[in-house]
C-alpha cells in the first residue's frame, strides 16, 4: 500500500471534514464538523499546522489524520498534551494508527519541552467505552483510563422545565451573552472551573477564540446577573454558553456559577431557560458533556431537566518524564 504523509493544509479541510464525519458514524462519536469549523481549528491559538498536524493519504484519499495540542499552562506541574485523530475504517489494522501515534507523541514531547522545559508530560486521548478503537490503541501504548465523562441529551419529549426557584439575595436578571460581558464571564469561568479535574484557566486569547468561532451562539447563550437598585448589572452569578455544530442541534459548551452562588439553583434556572427557548424554536435536541464525578453535582442537575446519558467517554493518560 502506497501511503503519503504530510500535514493538514487549508485546502484539505473538505477531505478532513468528510473523514471526520465518517468516523463519527463508524465510531459512534457523534462529533460532526464542517469544513469551516475545521479551518478554524487548524488555526487556533498556539497551533502550528505544519508541525502539529498529520495527514495520511492513499490514492488521493485522506485515510488518516491527527493533531497535537499543548496547553499553554502547566497542570499539576505537568505539561498537558492532548492527541486526537482517526483512521478510515477500511485502512485499519495495517499499522497506520501506530505510525500516526508515533509521529504525534514525538511532536508532543518536542513541543512540550520547548514550552515547558524540565516538566513531565501528560498525554491525554479520548475514547468511547466499551471497546472503542482509540481506547484499544491507547491501552496498547501504555495509556490508562483516568476519568469518565458522559454525553447527555434532552429533547422536547423529555424536557422538564425548571419552575422551582430559590429566592435570590437582591434583584437578578437573565440576559443574552454579549461582548460587554465577555471578560467578566471569562474570569468567572476560570473561577468556577478551578476545582474541576483537568481544568486550567483560559487565557484571553483562548477565550476570544472560543466565542468568535462560527459555531458559537451568543444570541442563545445566557447569563444571570445581580442588579443594584438603579437596575445596572453588577455581578455575573451564573452563565450558560452554547454552540451549534449541526443545524438544529444545540450544544451546551460551558455552564458555571460563582463559588458563592453555588447551591442556589442559578445554573439550573439559566440552563432551563436556554433549553426551553431552543426547543420552542424547533431545535431537535440539546446536548452536553459532563464529568461523571463533577464536584458540583452537575449530572444530577442535568437529569433534573430531563437530560439522559447517551454515551460514556473515557480519558486515557500516559505520563512521560523529562529527559
Parallel, antiparallel or unpaired: strands 3-6 and 121-128: unpaired
* pLDDT 10s digits, 272-303: 999 999 999 999 999 999 998 876 678 888 99
pLDDT averaged over every residue in the chain: 91
Nearest to 134 by CA among 31, 3, 2: 31
Query: Coil, strand or helix: which one is 205?
Result: helix
Q: Which residue has the cell 468567572?
A: 188
Q: What angle do CA 167, 170, 173 make, to 5 degrees?
A: 85
pLDDT range class, residue 160, cuts 50, 70, 90? very high
The CA distances from residue 208 to 47, 171, 276, in Å, are 15, 30, 27
pLDDT range class, residue 323, cuts 50, 70, 90? confident
Q: Which pLDDT score is estimated for 228? A: 62
Parallel, antiparallel or unpaired: strands 285-291 and 249-257: parallel
pLDDT range class, residue 310, cuts 50, 70, 90? very high
Least confident of 123-137, 185-199, 262-276: 123-137
Per-residue pLDDT, averaged over 305-317, amounts to 94
Q: Which pLDDT score is estimated for 194? A: 86
Indicate whether 229 pLDDT > 80: no
Most confident of 96-110, 118-132, 291-305: 96-110
pTM of the model: 0.90
Nearest to 256 by CA among 322, 191, 319, 208: 191
Q: Which pLDDT score is estimated for 208? A: 95
Indicate whether 200 pLDDT > 90: no
Q: Which pLDDT score is estimated for 170? A: 63
Task: Please classify residue 120 by burial: count the beta carbons closer than 10 Å to its beta carbon, then call 0-12 exposed, 13-18 middle and 19+ buried.
Answer: middle
Question: What CATH code is assigned to 3-149+316-320?
Answer: 3.40.630.30
Q: Which pLDDT score is estimated for 168? A: 55
159-306 fold: Aminopeptidase (3.40.630)
Q: Which pLDDT score is estimated for 171? A: 78
**Bridge partner list, 195:** none
List the chain domain ranges.
3-149+316-320, 159-306
Q: Which pLDDT score is estimated for 299? A: 86
Sign of the CA dihedral with 58 first, then 61, 62, and 63 last: negative
Torsion of CA 73, 77, 79, 83, to 10 degrees: -100
Indicate whether 101 pLDDT > 80: yes
Q: Which pLDDT score is estimated for 35? A: 97
Query: Where is pLDDT greater, at 123 or 300?
Result: 123
* pLDDT 10s digits, 55-74: 999 999 999 999 999 999 99
Per-residue pLDDT, averaged over 168-176, amounts to 79
Per-residue pLDDT, averaged over 184-211, amounts to 91
Dist CA 209 CA 214 (whole Å): 10
pLDDT range class, residue 197, cuts 50, 70, 90? confident
Amino acid at each position: 500500500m502506497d501511503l503519503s504523509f504530510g500535514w493538514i493544509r487549508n485546502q484539505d479541510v473538505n477531505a478532513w471534514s468528510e473523514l471526520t464525519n465518517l468516523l463519527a458514524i463508524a465510531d459512534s462519536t457523534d462529533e460532526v464538523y464542517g469544513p469551516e469549523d475545521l479551518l478554524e481549528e487548524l488555526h487556533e491559538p498556539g497551533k502550528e499546522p505544519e508541525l502539529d498536524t498529520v495527514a495520511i493519504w492513499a490514492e488521493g484519499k485522506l485515510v488518516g489524520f491527527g493533531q497535537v495540542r499543548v496547553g499553554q499552562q502547566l497542570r499539576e506541574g505537568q505539561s498537558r498534551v492532548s492527541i486526537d485523530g482517526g483512521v478510515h475504517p477500511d485502512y485499519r489494522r495495517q499499522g497506520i494508527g501506530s505510525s500516526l501515534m508515533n509521529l504525534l507523541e514525538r511532536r508532543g514531547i518536542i513541543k512540550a519541552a520547548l514550552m515547558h522545559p524540565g516538566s513531565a508530560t501528560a498525554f491525554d486521548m479520548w475514547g468511547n467505552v466499551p471497546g472503542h478503537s482509540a481506547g484499544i490503541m491507547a491501552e496498547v501504548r501504555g495509556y490508562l483510563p483516568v476519568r469518565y465523562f458522559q454525553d447527555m441529551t434532552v429533547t422536547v419529549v423529555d424536557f422538564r422545565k425548571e419552575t422551582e426557584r430559590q429566592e435570590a439575595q437582591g434583584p437578578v436578571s437573565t440576559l443574552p451573552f454579549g461582548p460587554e460581558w465577555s471578560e467578566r464571564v471569562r474570569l468567572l469561568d476560570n473561577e468556577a472551573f478551578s476545582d474541576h479535574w483537568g481544568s486550567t484557566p483560559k487565557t484571553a486569547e483562548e477565550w476570544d477564540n472560543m466565542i468568535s468561532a462560527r459555531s458559537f451562539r451568543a444570541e442563545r447563550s445566557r447569563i444571570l446577573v445581580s442588579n443594584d437598585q438603579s437596575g445596572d448589572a453588577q455581578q455575573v452569578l451564573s452563565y450558560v454558553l452554547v454552540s451549534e455544530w449541526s443545524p438544529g442541534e444545540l450544544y451546551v459548551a460551558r455552564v458555571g456559577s460563582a463559588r458563592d452562588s453555588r447551591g442556589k439553583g442559578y445554573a439550573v434556572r439559566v440552563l432551563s431557560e436556554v433549553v426551553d427557548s431552543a426547543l420552542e424554536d424547533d431545535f431537535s435536541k440539546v446536548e452536553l458533556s459532563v464529568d461523571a464525578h463533577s464536584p458540583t453535582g452537575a449530572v444530577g442537575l442535568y437529569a433534573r431537566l430531563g437530560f439522559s446519558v447517551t454515551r460514556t467517554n473515557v480519558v486515557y493518560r500516559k505520563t512521560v518524564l523529562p529527559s
